[in-house]
Amino acid sequence: MNENKETPERRRERLRGEELKRNSTGNINDAFNRAEMGNLADLAGGLSWKGMGILLIVIIIGFIVASLI
């Protein structure tokens, strides 16, 4: 696939794979931290714009409800 026509998800995965090949032991720590903390980039990259909008609305409503209690 031509890099100009490559989707952002595929490009992200290709770059992650290249980094893993270059620095495999350094990525072990990153993987453990990602599993514990979560990764906002993966969350936002995996959702469509509608899903991200719904997630933001739920978070905002949650903060409003929490501040009222």
Of 45, 50, 49, nearest to 9 by C-alpha is 45
Number of domains in the chain: 1
Please give the residue range of the domain that contains residue 39: 3-68
Cβ atoms of 17 and 27 within 8 Å: the answer is no
Q: What is the pLDDT of residue 60?
A: 94
Q: Per-residue pLDDT tens, the chain, 69 aa: give them.
A: 455 788 888 888 888 888 777 776 665 666 666 656 666 666 666 667 787 788 889 999 999 999 998
Q: pTM of whole model > 0.85?
A: no
Q: What is the 3-state secondary structure (H, E, C) of 11-69?
A: HHHHHHHHHHHHCCCHHHHHHHHHHHHCCHHHHHHHCCHHHHHHHHHHHHHHHHHHHHC
